[in-house]
Amino acid sequence: MDPIQVGLLGIGTVGSGTFQVLTRNQEEIRRRAGCGIEITMVADLDVKRAREIVGDGVKVVNDAREVIANPEIAIVVELIGGYGIARELVLEAIAAGKHVVTANKALLAKHGTEIFEAAREKGVMVAFEAAVAGGIPIIKALREGLTANRIEWIAGIINGTTNFILSEMRDKGLDFAAALKDAQTLGYAEADPTFDIEGVDAAHKITLMSAIAFGIPVQFDKAHIEGITQLQSADIRCAEQLGYRIKLLGITRRRAAGIELRVHPALVPAKRLIANVEGAMNAVMVQADAVGTTLYYGKGAGSEPTASAVIADLVDIARLHTADPGHRVPHLAFQPDKLHATPVLPIEETLTAFYLRLRVADQKGVLAEITRILAEGDVSIDAVLQHESQEGESQTDLIILTHETQEDSMRKALAKMQQLPTVLAPIVSLRKEELA
């Protein structure tokens, strides 16, 4: 059987890793796929650099549309990134009858519904294992490995940059700015880290996992997103003393009224395996009815880990490209006509527990007033910790952990507490996820 020819759009970090791993492991991949898979054409604006990577045996051009127009190319791998030209090229490749592999989570989170529908109409596949959690095969697990299950929730550390920063803040006692600078120096954070530290990258990924887990359309615009830029080292220390660690989590959960879809820092019990994921590593927990809790851990970024996922998609397509399109695994796990319009809940309607840190006057009656406001707001207290005030000081920190409550109730209670004359600074409020 002739090798399947692949065209690569973009040969940066992931593209070069894909070429190197595919070349190095060609024989092993051939044995698994049943045929050879060869990158025979590459498009990149830096033609000279691309030729240095791929050598003389691969055609290199500076126009991605030349790759799409080549009738010999069966699969187009899009590694350009972003929403703009990448969307145009992916849709053009689909229209030309090419299968597509992409690591572009931003593109799929924003335009996935359009892209998957175009692929369905044309009878081609769009594979995107590399778009979520790098080398961790979480998309395949959700789409295929857990297909017998009713998935209840997913919680993931799915951005290595923020996890590295939080690990540095905890281990070294650094504030956010110093930890970010370390991450940039070591290459874990971009010069402009906004998408990472503001939670947008994680939101792209949890949006895709939510669609696959619950059989709903891709709805990135409905996700609630908070980053880690406002986190204080004092709260990381307090969490540690209480037996928790703070992680930036992507969470999606099935509720009776709809689907929760949110990204934010959260306290996680230190005894949970996911709480002990450190540095730039990623991990995803999935709770399902039949199998229970499963955990997927590994490198969420990097040249060869992400290339591993890209090539796994290439092998899948090589195995299935001659199959009847109706018998392939659907892009979002559920048959396209069986996707539900289940609403994504606004953050005010989600349920979670909370950690509160209040700077208060050290005098009688303060705790009673605060607990009264919480009780009136139907917020149940789990634990209270009051730090002893330093000698000569007239104020102290009050730490409160709550049981699960509706977000809207907590917001209203926080507004009332903040107005108390004995509350001397903005209240720190973080969500707490037991992940039990």
Which residues are catalytic, by number? 205
In this structure, are residues 265 and 228 in contact, taking their beta carbons and an 8 Å threshold? yes
Distance between CA atoms of 367 and 377, rounded to whole angstroms?
A: 15
Distance between CA atoms of 360 and 225, rounded to whole angstroms?
A: 29
In this structure, are residues 14 and 303 in contact, taking their beta carbons and an 8 Å threshold? yes
| Non-local CB neighbours of 56 within 8 Å, separated by 6+ positions | none
**If you ran DSSP here, which 8-state letter would residue 274 be given?**
G
Which single residue is written with the structure tokens 């919480």? 374
> In the numeric block, which tokens belong to residue 360?
């208060």
Taking alpha carbons only, the member of 135, 436, 129 closest to residue 287 is 436
| Cα-based torsion angle of the residue sequence 194, 114, 254, 344 in order, rounded to the nearest 10 degrees | 70
Q: What are the C-alpha distances in Å from 197 to residues 191, 260, 265, 432?
A: 12, 21, 11, 19
Gyration radius from the chain CA atoms? 24
Taking alpha carbons only, the member of 259, 216, 218, 11 closest to residue 128 is 218
Taking alpha carbons only, the member of 408, 407, 405, 395 closest to residue 357 is 395
In this structure, are residues 315 and 395 in contact, taking their beta carbons and an 8 Å threshold? no
Query: Would you say the C-alpha torsion 262, 264, 270, 273 has a positive or negative sign?
Result: positive
β 259-269/244-254 pair status? antiparallel
**If you ran DSSP here, which 8-state letter would residue 145 be given?**
I
| Cα-based torsion angle of the residue sequence 375, 379, 381, 386 in order, rounded to the nearest 10 degrees | -80
Which single residue is written with the structure tokens 């991450």? 183
Q: What are the C-alpha distances in Å from 93 to residues 37, 76, 165, 247, 306?
A: 18, 7, 38, 38, 22
Helix, strand, coil in percent for the chain, rounding step 5: 40, 25, 35
Distance between CA atoms of 385 and 397, rounded to whole angstroms?
A: 8
β 37-43/4-9 pair status? parallel
Distance between CA atoms of 47 and 58, rounded to whole angstroms?
A: 12
